[in-house]
Structure 1
Amino acid sequence: MENIEDLLPRHKHDHDRVDMIKEMDRDKIWPLLPSLLEWVQDMNWPVAPSVLELFLTFPDEIVPHVPNVLSSDDENWKWFILHFLIIEFPVESRVRFREYITRVAETPTHNELAEELDEIAKEILETI
């Protein structure tokens, strides 16, 4: 078995590695998903849209790993996750974040307000 680290992108321009992952069997991709979350930490990185596209084909498998991001101190990363991933999930996946999204929409922290997480949370709430 290959080491997961050997399969992951090595830099933010590593489209070849992401394309290789996309061609793998689904059962070989899902173990990579938690580590791939780091590659959407900034949607300005060139590989981020491709990784996001991959995540959207694995909503059930990526959902359990998203709370790790949402519990981090990185409001910018949270904004990207809410704006580019959760809002694009099927409704049955989005509702799994209802408690978090409601809290952010109704009682955002100072940092969440600064990054406008409350606004995207309100937008997501309208869809679930």
Structure 2
Amino acid sequence: MDDISGLLPRSKNDIDGARAVVQAGYPAVAPILGELTVWLKDYNWPIAHLIAPFLSSIGTPMVSHIWHVLKSDDHVWKYWIIELLLLGLPQDTALEFRPELERLCYTPSDAERREELDQQARQVLAHFGWV
């Protein structure tokens, strides 16, 4: 496929589209990684269950896309990115996020605490033996 953006799922129920993305694999989908993270805004969406493990398996190339989400104001999206992607990263790649995870764990804003980002961050920190 010449235009990889044609692989982007069309809706939260586009299981065939999500499967096509996974089947195309990385690095073929590298140009659309950012758009694919959008489908992790809500893990209740059916395609998120296919997209999340795939994106998590990519590792280091996901770093800039994860940072994009962590720097956003969408705390629910952050919650899912922390749970679904950070826990699956290799430790050396996850180390990039340690300072932000520590900030979320120990000094979250009220809004971050309401969305349980402090608990999610603690879970990742514990997973890697950093707490």
TM-score calculated relative to the size of structure 1: 0.92
Distance in 1 between residues matched to 2:122 and 2:90, nearest whole Å: 17
Distance in 1 between residues matched to 2:27 and 2:46, nearest whole Å: 25
Question: Residue 25 of structure 1: CA displacement?
Answer: 4.9
Question: Residue 3 of structure 1: CA displacement?
Answer: 5.5
Question: Residue 51 of structure 1: CA displacement?
Answer: 0.4
Structure 1 residue identity aligned to 2:58: F
Q: Give the corresponding residue for 2:3.
A: 2
Question: Helix, strand or coil: the match of 1:56?
Answer: helix
Distance in 1 between residues matched to 2:7 and 2:83, nearest whole Å: 27
Q: Give the corresponding residue for 1:113.
A: 113
What does 1:93-108 align with in structure 2 at a 5 Å threshold? Answer: 93-108=93-108
Distance in 2 between residues matched to 1:63 and 1:124, nearest whole Å: 15
Question: Residue 84 of structure 1: CA displacement?
Answer: 1.6
Structure 1 runs of 4+ aligned residues shifted over 3 Å read none
Distance in 2 between residues matched to 1:81 and 1:26, nearest whole Å: 19
Distance in 1 between residues matched to 2:40 and 2:87, nearest whole Å: 15
Q: Deviations over 1:50-93 (max 9, x none)?
A: 00011022111111211111111111111111112101211112
Structure 2 residue identity aligned to 1:61: P
Q: Give the corresponding residue for 1:24.
A: 24
8 Å contact kept, 2:56–2:84: no
Q: Quote the RMSD (CA, aligned, Å).
A: 1.3
Name the count of aligned residue pairs: 127
> Residues 25 and 12 of structure 1: is their aligned pair in 2 closer, same or farther, counting only changes over 3 Å?
closer
Distance in 2 between residues matched to 1:27 and 1:89, nearest whole Å: 17
